[in-house]
Structure 1
Amino acid sequence: MNQKTKKTVRSTVVAFAAATALATTLPTGNAYAIDHIPCRAGENYLKIWSHLNGKDSVDCYANKGKISFGNWWVDRISTGNNDLIYSDANGDSVRVNRWTDITYPNRPPKVSYIEIL
């Protein structure tokens, strides 16, 4: 094998090894996506009580990320160990810090998306 061929083979092997190392050590995209999860007592997840068109819902979320909330009216938020930003139908973004339990009995916000920081 001549020098040029050896150099090309060596460069290809090094590039393949580097690509393999990156692929096996970097987290996948889904590892950091917000998850809609079952609510369980005693857990410190983000928990949101909401209603729309006569239907009530209680939803829990975990992990950093952003997700659509479908313009539901929010009655209560318990952030658990999560910092939260929600966007209401007016386009305002509101931050709610971790360990906060807040209710909106008279004028609930209509939330378009939520983001766990």
Structure 2
Amino acid sequence: MLSKTKRVARSATVALAAAAAFTALMPTSNAFAINEVECRGGENFLKIWSHLDGRSSVDCYANKGRMNFGSWWVDRISTGNNDLIYYDVNGDSVRVNRWTDITFPSRPPKVKDIEIL
């Protein structure tokens, strides 16, 4: 009888230790997987035209998340099937809804971060 009680107690202890380890190793926040992808015709990625210090760039992004945009000046945004928030260097945040194509011909924003919702 005593050995059966010890086995039950040992099993319960092992189960609690495993549960505690599993809980400690799990991430505590959402994992974000925003990434730059190849721009291809016919795809509905977020597409951003930008410039900085005489260089121009056209970049596409996919997946939910937030990332640093390097404080580039943004000339045009085509959101595709993505809702977007861009954060400018002045601390403002601007939401741009999916299926929007917007240009900034006279006063482009200088964007610090982008976030796909």
TM-score range, shorter chain: 0.7 to 0.9
Q: Percent identity?
A: 64
Q: What is the total number of aligned residue pairs between the two structures?
A: 110
- Report the Cα distance in structure 1 between the residues aligned to 2:73 and 2:19, rounded to whole angstroms: 51
Structure 1 gaps, min length 5: none
User: Taking structure 1 as reference, are residues 92 and 17 closer, same or farther at Cα in structure 2, changes over 3 Å only?
Assistant: closer
TM-score by length of 2: 0.82
How much does 1:73 deviate?
0.2
Matching residue of 1:7: 8
Gaps (5+ residues) in structure 2?
Answer: none
User: Of the two, which has the highest radius of gyration?
Assistant: 2
How far does residue 33 in structure 1 lie from its aligned partner after superposition? 1.4
Letter in 2 for 1:2: S
The match for 1:81 is: 81
Cα RMSD between the aligned structures? 2.4
Q: What is the letter of the counterpart of residue 99 of structure 1?
A: W
Which string of whole-angstrom CA distances, capped at 9 and with x for unpartnered residues, describes residues 66-99 of structure 1? 0000100000000011000001111100000000
* CA deviation profile, 1:27-72 (whole Å, cap 9, x unmatched): xx76x41111111111001000000000000111111100000100
Counterpart CA distance in 1 for 2:17 and 2:101 is 51
TM-score, structure 1 as length reference: 0.82
